[in-house]
Amino acid sequence: MVQLMGMRRVHLYIRGLVQGVGFRPYVYSLATSKGLCGFVSNLADAGVEVIVEGDETALREFLEELPKKRPSVSRIDEMEVEWGAPSYAFSSFEISDSQERRISVRSVIPVDLGICDLCVTEITGNTRYGGYPFTSCAQCGPRFTMIRKLPYDRVNTSMDVFPFCPECLREYLDPKNRRYDAQGFACPLCGPKLTLLDASGEAVESKDPIISAARLLSEGSIIAVKGLGGFHLAVNALDESSVSELRKRRRRPNQPFAIMSPSIEEITRFAEVSEGEAQLLLSPARPIVVLKKSDNCNLADSVAPGLNSIGVMLPYTGIHLLLLRAFRREALVMTSANYPSKPMMIDERSALSELKGVADYYLVHNREIVNRCDDSVIKSIGGDRVFLRKSRGYSPSYLRAGWSVGDKYILGLGGELNNNASLFVKDQIITTQHIGDVDELETLDFMKNAIKFIEKTYDLRKPDVIACDMNPAFLTRRYAEELSAELGSPLVRVQHHHAHAAALMAENGIGLDGEVVSIVIDGTGYGLDGNSWGGEILVAGYRDFKRAAHLEPHPMPGGDACAYYPARMLASFLSSKLSDSDVEKLLEKDATKYFKHGIEELKLVLKQCKETRSLKTTSLGRLLDALAVALDVCWLRTYEGEPPMRLESLALRGGPSEIKLELEYRKENGMYIFDTSSFVNAVFDLKNSYDRKDMAFAIHKSIGDAFAEVACLLAEECGVQTIGLTGGAAVNTLINHSIKEKIMKNNKKLIIHKNYPCGDGCVSLGQSVVASSRIL
Q: How far is the CB of 765 from Zn ion (least distance, A)?
A: 12
Measuring CA to CA, how many Å separate 576 from each of 594, 605, 731? 19, 13, 29
Q: Closest CB to Zn ion among 591 and 769?
A: 769
Measuring CA to CA, how many Å separate 58 from each of 49, 63, 65, 88, 114? 19, 9, 11, 16, 49
| DSSP structure class, residue 201 | S
Q: Shortest CA distance to 51 belongs to which of 102, 19, 17, 9?
A: 9
**Coil vs helix vs strand at 683:** helix
530 burial (CB, 10 Å; 0-12 / 13-18 / 19+) is exposed
Q: Closest CB to Zn ion among 170 and 356?
A: 170
Q: How far is the CB of 500 from Zn ion (least distance, A)?
A: 6
Q: Closest CB to Zn ion among 222 and 725?
A: 725
Q: How far apart are CA 366 and CA 651, in angstroms?
A: 47
Q: How far is the CB of 760 from Zn ion (least distance, A)?
A: 4
Q: Closest CB to Zn ion among 229 and 525?
A: 525
Q: How far apart are CA 495 and CA 529, in angstroms?
A: 11
Phi, psi torsion values for 726, nearest 5 degrees: -150, 175
Q: Closest CB to Zn ion among 140 and 290?
A: 140
Sequence-ordered strand ranges (E) for 269-360: 271-272, 288-293, 309-313, 332-336
Q: How far is the CB of 577 from Zn ion (least distance, A)?
A: 29
Do the Cβ atoms of 315 and 217 come closer than 8 Å? no
Do the Cβ atoms of 415 and 469 come closer than 8 Å? yes
| DSSP structure class, residue 728 | G
Q: How far is the CB of 731 from Zn ion (least distance, A)?
A: 11
What is the amino acid identity at position 339? Y
Q: How far is the CB of 544 from Zn ion (least distance, A)?
A: 19
Neighbours of 220 (CB within 10 A): 14
Q: How far is the CB of 190 from Zn ion (least distance, A)?
A: 3
Phi, psi torsion values for 771, nearest 5 degrees: -60, -40
Q: Closest CB to Zn ion among 418 and 772?
A: 418
Q: Shortest CA distance to 25 belongs to which of 42, 11, 10?
A: 42
Q: How far is the CB of 151 from Zn ion (least distance, A)?
A: 21
Phi, psi torsion values for 519, nearest 5 degrees: -85, 120
Q: How far apart are CA 135 and CA 642, in angstroms?
A: 39
Q: How far is the CB of 98 from Zn ion (least distance, A)?
A: 30
Do the Cβ atoms of 447 and 761 come closer than 8 Å? no
Q: Closest CB to Zn ion among 119 and 322?
A: 119
Q: How far is the CB of 188 from Zn ion (least distance, A)?
A: 7
Q: How far apart are CA 476 and CA 481, in angstroms?
A: 9
The secondary structure of 223-263 as a DSSP string is EEEE-SSSEEEEEETT-HHHHHHHHHHHT-SSPPPPEE-S-
Q: Closest CB to Zn ion among 165 and 599?
A: 165
Q: Closest CB to Zn ion among 76 and 138?
A: 138
**Coil vs helix vs strand at 313:** strand
Q: How far is the CB of 164 from Zn ion (least distance, A)?
A: 6
Q: Closest CB to Zn ion among 140 and 322?
A: 140
Q: Shortest CA distance to 65 belongs to which of 94, 26, 8, 96?
A: 26
| DSSP structure class, residue 402 | S
Q: Closest CB to Zn ion among 119 and 623?
A: 119
Q: Closest CB to Zn ion among 54 and 644?
A: 644
Q: Closest CB to Zn ion among 189 and 744?
A: 189
Q: What is the largest CA-CA distance in the chain?
A: 98
Which residues here bind Zn ion, judged by CB under 5 A? 116, 119, 137, 139-140, 165, 168, 187, 189-190, 522, 525, 760
Q: How far is the CB of 426 from Zn ion (least distance, A)?
A: 27
Phi, psi torsion values for 135, nearest 5 degrees: -100, 160
Q: How far is the CB of 417 from Zn ion (least distance, A)?
A: 8
Neighbours of 488 (CB within 10 A): 8
Q: Which residues contact 742 (CB under 8 A, 6 or more apart)?
A: 704, 705, 708, 709, 712
